[in-house]
Every structure is written in structure tokens, then in C-alpha cells.
Structure 1
Amino acid sequence: MANAADRVTRVAADLMDSAAAEGARQSRSAKQQLDHWARIGRSVSGQHSAARRKVEAALAGGVELTELSVEEGVVFNAEISAAIEESLAGTDYGTLLSARGVTIVALDDSGQIVEHRPDGSSSVLHPHR
């Protein structure tokens, strides 16, 4: 049940699916699992221990990865993975490729294959009959 302080927000589908699966194993709802993960992440991110500073230095390229402990490596990998996923989610590949002169194809909302050309024109390749 939603708390009065809860806010409506969008969550990536893969995170929601993972939260639902893990939440079921932990006797939590998907929302409760996301809250749990967020609190853990907030706590870990807020730590300014020597280990955290070492991971941040590695992320900035100032420390060799071989200098990280196994636990620091796990945090490093999680940070890199999250950064990549955020970058991928925020990139408009259609616009990027179009600017480079690349023709792309994609499914439209009705499931038809549409060719999008760099000049801004598009056409359905195999219309439904």
C-alpha cells in the first residue's frame, strides 16, 4: 500500500521485473524490493570510507583495477554497469544514426517494420494486409 510520502515515478522495466522476482523470494512486493535496493545503494554510495574513495579513484582512472579488492571490484563493476545502462537508456539512437546518414528500421506501435531514412522520410516495409 502506498505511503502518503510516496511519489509516482517510472522505473525501468528490467528493474521492475528483477524486483518482482527477488521480492517474491524475499516475501516483499516489487515496490518494497525496489525501496530495499535503493536504501542499500544510498547507504553504499554515501560511504566515504577508504574503500569507497579507492573505487571512485578507479572509476576516474586514477587507480588500476588490479589494486581493487574483490569487494571493491564488485562495487566498481556495479557502478560501471549502472552508468552504461543509464547512458543507453538516455540515448536516442534514431537521431544519432540519422545524423550520421544511417538508415534504420524499427517496429512501430502496431508491430509493422518501418524504414527511417536520414532525410526524415519513412515507409512501412511490409504493411499488414
Structure 2
Amino acid sequence: MRTTPATRLPADVYEPAAAEAPGASRTVPQQIAHWARIGRELEMSPQVNHRAVQQVLAGNGSYDLLGEREQAVVRGNWAERWAALREGLDLEAEFKAAGRSYSEADEDGNLIIRPAIG
């Protein structure tokens, strides 16, 4: 196998690959390459209308009008976006910085009210 220069990957790509690789008897780079090949084949598949998928992802098309395969591609993309957005959230710090109270549930589901500080 020919090697290429090192490439930086976002944590939301690297970490799941690192978790999946041992179970598939692959190295992390092999796992990422495997997923890349699957993605390439999916994009090249005549059974998936990628133009329609792109329109939905851009907000210019209807998810409900897509076929099952296209919907699966859209849901995968949405899941990646949501994970990236959640990773960047620190609501506790935002509420504290704004001097606002907030509530949350503890591990047992009990309501905990955090008062505003300041």
C-alpha cells in the first residue's frame, strides 16, 4: 500500500475510527480508509440521487420526497453535524457568564436548580 502525507482529522472522525478499528482488526488509518471507500462507493452509486441529497442538506429540498437510501445519507450527515455542534457546547459556562440560573437533571433524574452567580 502506498502511503501519503499525514493529514489532520477532526476528532469526530478520528475517535469513532479508533473505537471501531480493534473490533474490525484494522488500524485507525485502515478503518478511516475503509469508511472513505464506502463513502466513495455510495456517492458513485447509481441507486442514490446525490443531487437530491445535496438539495436537502442545503435546505432546498424535501427530506420526505427522498428514497430510503437518500434519507439514510441525509440522516448520516445530520448526525455528524449534530455531534459537531454538541461537542462545541458549554451551556454551563454560557449561563454562568450571563449570570443566569439554569436547571438540569442529576444521574437519578432529580431536578437540580443552579442559581445565578453574581
Interval of TM-score (by shorter of Structure 1 and Structure 2): 0.5 to 0.7
* Aligned mates of 2:10, 2:62 — CA distance in 1: 36
Structure 2 unmatched runs, 5+ = 105-113
Matched to 1:77, the amino acid is R
- 1:93/1:53 Cα in 2 relative to 1: closer, same or farther (>3 Å)? same
CA RMSD, aligned part only?
Answer: 3.6
Sequence identity percentage: 21
- 1:56/1:9 Cα in 2 relative to 1: closer, same or farther (>3 Å)? closer
Q: Is the 8 A contact 2:53 2:70 kept in 1?
A: yes
Instruction: Choose which of 66, 70, 73 in structure 1 pairs with 2:71.
Output: 73
* Aligned mates of 2:49, 2:99 — CA distance in 1: 42
- Residue 10 of structure 1 deviates from its aligned partner by 6.2
The higher relative CO (CA closer than 8 Å, separation ≥ 6) is in 2
* Aligned mates of 2:58, 2:4 — CA distance in 1: 39
- Residue 61 of structure 1 deviates from its aligned partner by 2.9
Q: Is the 8 A contact 1:19 1:34 kept in 2?
A: no
Q: TM-score, structure 1 length as denominator?
A: 0.56
* Residue 16 (structure 2) aligns with: 15
Structure 1 unmatched runs, 5+ = 106-114, 120-129
How many residues end up aligned between the 2 structures?
103
Q: TM-score, structure 2 length as denominator?
A: 0.60
- Residue 56 of structure 1 deviates from its aligned partner by 1.6
* Aligned mates of 2:88, 2:33 — CA distance in 1: 23
* Aligned mates of 2:42, 2:99 — CA distance in 1: 38
